[in-house]
Chain A
Amino acid sequence: MTSPTISAAPPVGPGYALSAENEATLLAGVRKSNRNAALKVWALRAVIVAVWLGSWELTATYVIDPFFYSKPSLIWDRLIQWFSAGTQFGSVWENIGYTVLEATAGFAIGTVAGIVLGVLLGRSRYMAQVFSPFIKAANAVPRIVLAALFIIWFGFGISSKIATVVVLVFFAVFFNAFTGAREVDGNVVNNARILGASKRKILTSIVLPSATTWILSSLHTAFGFALIGAIVGEYAGAKHGMGMLIANAQGTFDSAGIYAGMIIVTVVALLAESLITTAENKLLKWRPSQVQNQIKGI
């Protein structure tokens, strides 16, 4: 609703003018209260962070030993040092690059494998029945331990980390793709068959898109797993990467270094999360929640 056109309209009568004015003030009021609400939320968030970091800094300075517990100012110094002078294992960007590379490569492979297998088993009752105990067992295995095994198999390079990421990501995506493919509306499939769709077309134009909602929602957790897999893989043994920096900080009793590594990984995870959310919103723009204006009547 645009207010300029309302004010430009010729005065029809006192009643009309009054209601138009009320509408404009009402809308302005809504906007103002929305702004105030957002301001309040952010103010309280800032207070929480200040209290948390401030109390930590104070306790670590006067009460507890910062050698073990570190404190915000030390962590900050370590971050500055890493980004300006670099770490003792090359520039911090290079290490971030390795971790991100391992996480994304493993994420891509694990996601594709999860979708393909999930959709195939989701569409075939027989295959699902055959494989379900194996998949349940594989999912119950503490897969993170495989990182150690992969180092023996693939060495200290990035391939052992990618393998760890793949086994973590695969199951997160697989179960959602499986459910998504199974939940496809039978009516829609029958409709497509009548309209002339081949089996392949049903898979690509009906099953995959309907499973997309399920698959996309799994990608958020899956990328979290991908980073964990990469870090743990590096932690178990590597020449580069954030996990290796954290492991090294542990080895040298550098608690500030552990925190600094955690912060960098957290920022990477948040960036990835926002990328996935953007992609999700683009792919799912047909969803009801995305569009407010409904048209009623014929």
Chain B
Amino acid sequence: MPGNKAPLIELKAATKRFPKNGGGIHTAIRDVNLSIAPGEFVAVVGPTGCGKSTTLSLISGLQPASEGETYVRGDRVTGIPAGVGYMFQADATLPWQTVLDNVASGPRYRGASKAEARAQAREWVQRVGLGKFEKYYPHQLSGGMRKRVALAQTLVNEPEIMLMDEPFSALDVQTRQLMQQELLRLWSGSDAAVVFVTHDLEEAIALADRVVIMTASPATIKAEFRVDLPRPRDVEEVRLTPEFLAIYRQVWDSLRDEVEQARATAGQPDAK
């Protein structure tokens, strides 16, 4: 993606601190500067528990920054900005609603009539490949299928910004790759920008245009790498190409120190 477009998302020296349970302050992220262009797919990689998710909650407006600013489309984020979709790490589907009604909840909240919302939802349920399962309840579905529901639930609002917080980390390897492929397929048909948080470097490189490395806690941005692998990509095949491996080696050199540092401090109570 060309970098000369006006940024869609901009974090300027954003810092987020939380009061810790036993007193004291935990700094999740510190001085984060990040700008993301419209339609860009950015993966944010860092050691587990370093504060990657906090970055997403600042962009989504679910939490305010302690210091610094967040801008979406040039406007300072004070509430949830329009056109934002967020896919959480844990399941957030409503267990008492069918697949179709879960997907329809976005349009319903935004004031569409029941019939209208269902028609939109039906289209997306089909697009994520759950056409036959629209009357099922979430507990009747496998983990991968529930992720598809969450994906449809997010996409039905046609977000301009998609925030994804390790959405596939709970899935087994084969299902994860399948879902990654599905994500790329659905994303290529939209012009949404994606901020994809993961601790899986392979996943990051296979999906993104740009990989951002975050340091161990308190997290800040350490380095950025452009991924110029051609699209459309096959996430399973692309991993085996020499270009992929070259980028992987380069990024891993940067990430390794952070992972080691996170491991070293993991035993301490300060870790999270």
Residue ranges of A at the interface with B (Cβ–Cβ < 8 Å): 185, 187-188, 190-198, 201, 205-206, 209-210, 212, 284, 286-288, 291, 293-298
Contact check: which of B80, B94, B137 meets A188 at CB < 8 Å?
Answer: B94
Contact partners of B139 in chain A: CB under 8 A: 286-288, 291
Nearest 10 pairs of A and B residues by beta carbon: A191-B92, A196-B109, A195-B106, A197-B109, A194-B86, A286-B96, A286-B137, A196-B110, A298-B144, A288-B139
Output the nearest chain A residue to B60 by Cβ-Cβ distance: A194
B232-251 interface code vs A (CB 8 A; 1 in, 0 out): 00000000000000000000
Contact check: which of B92, B110, B141 meets A187 at CB < 8 Å?
Answer: B92
Say whether A298 contacts B80, CB under 8 Å.
Answer: no
Say whether A209 contacts B62, CB under 8 Å.
Answer: no
**CA A284 – CA B139 in complex, angstroms?**
13
8 contacts between A and B (CB under 8 A): A187-B91, A192-B109, A193-B80, A194-B80, A195-B110, A195-B153, A295-B141, A297-B142
Q: How far is the CB of A209 from chain B (nearest CB, A)?
A: 5
B85 beta carbon closer than 8 Å to chain A: yes
B74 beta carbon closer than 8 Å to chain A: no
Say whether B157 contacts A298, CB under 8 Å.
Answer: no
Contact partners of A187 in chain B: CB under 8 A: 88, 90-92
B76-98 interface code vs A (CB 8 A; 1 in, 0 out): 00001000111010111111110
Q: How far is the CB of A110 from chain B (nearest CB, A)?
A: 25
Output the nearest chain A residue to B174 by Cβ-Cβ distance: A298
Residue ranges of B at the interface with A (Cβ–Cβ < 8 Å): 60, 62, 80, 84-86, 88, 90-97, 105-106, 108-110, 133, 136-137, 139-142, 144-145, 153-154, 157, 175, 178
Say whether A286 contacts B157, CB under 8 Å.
Answer: no
Contact partners of A201 in chain B: CB under 8 A: 109
**CA A151 – CA B251 in complex, angstroms?**
80
Contact partners of B105 in chain A: CB under 8 A: 192, 195, 197, 205
Contact partners of B86 in chain A: CB under 8 A: 190-191, 194
Contact partners of B60 in chain A: CB under 8 A: 194
Q: How far is the CB of A205 from chain B (nearest CB, A)?
A: 7
Say whether B144 contacts A291, CB under 8 Å.
Answer: no
Say whether A190 contacts B92, CB under 8 Å.
Answer: yes
**CA A194 – CA B106 in complex, angstroms?**
9
Q: How far is the CB of A108 from chain B (nearest CB, A)?
A: 23
Q: How far is the CB of A220 from chain B (nearest CB, A)?
A: 20
Say whether A298 contacts B110, CB under 8 Å.
Answer: no
Q: How far is the CB of A225 from chain B (nearest CB, A)?
A: 27
Q: How far is the CB of B51 from chain A (nearest CB, A)?
A: 17
**CA A72 – CA B96 in complex, angstroms?**
48
Contact partners of B95 in chain A: CB under 8 A: 286-287
Say whether A190 contacts B88, CB under 8 Å.
Answer: yes
Q: From A191, A198, A296, name the one whose CB has the most chain B CB atoms within 10 angstroms.
A: A191
**CA A205 – CA B106 in complex, angstroms?**
12
**CA A210 – CA B95 in complex, angstroms?**
9
**CA A210 – CA B97 in complex, angstroms?**
11
Q: How far is the CB of A181 from chain B (nearest CB, A)?
A: 15
Contact partners of A185 in chain B: CB under 8 A: 92
**Contact A286 to B97, CB < 8 A, known contacts A192-B105, A295-B136:** yes
**CA A201 – CA B251 in complex, angstroms?**
44
Contact partners of B154 in chain A: CB under 8 A: 195
**Contact A296 to B142, CB < 8 A, known contacts A188-B92, A192-B105, A196-B106:** yes
Output the nearest chain A residue to B163 by Cβ-Cβ distance: A194
**CA A9 – CA B106 in complex, angstroms?**
48
**CA A185 – CA B90 in complex, angstroms?**
10
